[in-house]
Copies of this chain bind each other. A is one copy, B any other.
Amino acid sequence: MKKLILVTNDDGYLAPGVRRLIEWLEPFGEVIAVCPDGPRSAQSMALTVSTAMRITRVDDYKRDGSVLYKCNGTPVDCVKLAMHTVLPRIPDLVVSGINHGSNAAVNVLYSGTMGAVFEGTVFGIPSVGFSLTSHSMDADFLPCRPFIESIVKKVIEKGLPEGVCLNVNIPKDCIPSGMRVVRAARGKWSDEYQEYTDPFGNPFYWLCGRFINEEPEAVDTDEYCLAHGIVSIVPEVVDRTHSDVDAISSLLSL
């Protein structure tokens, strides 16, 4: 039987990144895409709990074998609602992206692209997120294609360990120098707000900031790879329980 692939993203159904992804996944199976009806960046694993949810087919999107739906929720809502409504069976693969912007290091925590990937993993489905480290809507996604094809082929063939998904970041000035499986770099955002004063003299703030890599020399990290033109693949777990429960028990004298 043909593989069934659920595609989603967080930049919305009109984003060039997801359009390319759908096209490039078609040789691997039947593609059903369910994407937010507008940008939902930085939605993490947020769920819509207090609004009616709708999912509607994008009628003017005509491709041979692929269908596209839009949904008024977050990326996680898209996955949940797809599973509940338009998918004929549990898909063999969930693929999210191609995100317009990096989801490396700590950014994975806030990423809507990766939120959908974690949700696919909760459902027990092998799930992969792809991001290109450029926010430009005119970004050239073509260099991503061989990396996506190679990773998707392997994951369809071999699956992924239970509870593990992949966070793939592709550097925008990507030279075809390969890819590496690495860990997330330690780092944090700094100078996170721009301050303004409204016409009535009241302050307001807008989120911005710059990411500081706290270990730029660490070769086994995603940020190192991206800084050196190498595609980074970080295997991520859904279960965040700390490996040493006993140590915390002692610390709390329990």
Residues of A whose CB lies within 8 Å of any CB of B are 39, 41-50, 52-55, 74, 76-77, 80-81, 83-85, 106, 108-110, 115, 118, 122-124, 151, 154-155, 158, 160-161, 164, 166, 178-184, 186, 188, 192-193, 196, 198, 202-207, 220, 233-249, 251-254
Tell me if B240 and A236 are in contact (CB < 8 A): yes
**Cβ contact of A50, chosen from B39, B184, B240, cutoff 8 A:** B39
Contact status of A110 and B46, CB under 8 A, knowing A161-B247, A192-B80, A193-B53: yes
Rounded to whole angstroms, the CA-CA distance of A208 and B248 in the bound complex is 34
- Shortest beta-carbon distance, A46 to chain B, in Å? 4
Contact status of A193 and B84, CB under 8 A, knowing A49-B207, A109-B122: yes
Tell me if B245 and A236 are in contact (CB < 8 A): no
Seed contacts A43-B44, A122-B188, A181-B246; 8 additional CB < 8 Å A-B pairs: A42-B48, A52-B196, A53-B207, A155-B252, A233-B254, A235-B241, A235-B248, A237-B243
Rounded to whole angstroms, the CA-CA distance of A246 and B242 in the bound complex is 20
Tell me if B251 and A188 are in contact (CB < 8 A): no
- A-B pairs with the 10 shortest C-beta distances? A235-B242, A44-B45, A44-B44, A181-B249, A42-B47, A46-B46, A235-B248, A183-B241, A52-B204, A53-B205
Contact status of A241 and B234, CB under 8 A, knowing A49-B207, A154-B252, A204-B53: yes
Smallest Cβ-Cβ distance to A73: which chain B residue: B207
Rounded to whole angstroms, the CA-CA distance of A184 and B85 in the bound complex is 29
Tell me if B252 and A233 are in contact (CB < 8 A): yes
Greatest chain B CB density within 10 A among A53, A160, A220 is at A53
